[in-house]
Copies of this chain bind each other. A is one copy, B any other.
Amino acid sequence: MTLSDKNFAFVMHCGEMGSRWGFNRTIGQMCGLLIITKEPMTANEIADALSISRGNVSMGIKELQSWRLIKVQHIPGDRKEYYAPAGSIWDMANRVFEERKKREIDPTLSLLRDNLLEPATNDDEKFAQQQMHEIHDLLETVTKWSSELQRLSPEQLQSLMKLGSGIGKVLDFKDKILKKS
C-alpha cells in the first residue's frame, strides 16, 4: 500500500509538526498516517509506508498508546496486531490537550504549591513569591477551566464553540442578570 502524493505530503507535514505538538517526527508521521488511512494498519505496513525500522514503529506505538491516541485491533485468524486511531479527531485533540496539560502545567503547579507553603526569608524571596503566586493562580485558573470544558456535554461544548464572538455579549448579559438579583 503506497500513499498518494497528497496524502504523503500530509503525513510528512505531521512529521514536521510532530515535535511542536509534543512528540517527535516519526510519531507525528505515524499519527497522521493512521488518521488518514481508512483501514487499521499493521506495524510492518507502517514501517513500510514511512520507510522506518520495525523497532522504531514499536517504540512509536508505545508512545502513541501512552497518549491514548491509538487502539489495537485483531482480525480473526490473523495473529498480527492492527492499529487505528482511538477515537474521533475531536477525541484525539482532547487527549493531546489533556496529556500536554499534564506535562506542561501540572509539574509547575506542584512545584509552586510547595514553594508557596514555605515562608519567604528575605526580600528577594518575597518578591519571587509574589510572582510565583501570580503564576500559580494563572495555572490554577487554566486547570480549572480545562477540567470544566471536559465536563461539559458535547452539545454544550458545541453550543459554546459556535458562540464565537457572541461570548462577550453573553457575558455582559450574565453580569446584568447577576447585578439585578
Question: Residues of A at under 8 Å CB distance from B?
Answer: 3-4, 6-7, 9-10, 13, 16-17, 20-22, 35-38, 88-90, 93, 100, 103-104, 107-108, 111, 115, 118, 121-125, 127-128, 131-132, 134-135, 138, 141, 144-145, 148, 151-152, 156, 159-161, 163-165, 167-168, 170-175, 177
Contact = CB atoms under 8 A, between A and B. Distances in A.
Contacts of A9: 111, 115
A173 B100 CA distance: 32
Contacts of A17: 104, 107-108
Given A170-B174, A171-B159, A88 B134 contact: yes
Copies of this chain, whole number: 2
Given A125-B7, A141-B161, A156 B135 contact: no
A170 B178 CA distance: 11
A89 B148 contact: no
Contacts of A164: 144-145, 148
Given A93-B138, A138-B93, A159-B171, A131 B35 contact: yes
B127 A38 contact: yes
9 contacts: A6-B128, A20-B22, A36-B131, A36-B132, A38-B127, A89-B134, A89-B138, A148-B167, A159-B171
Contacts of A145: 161, 164
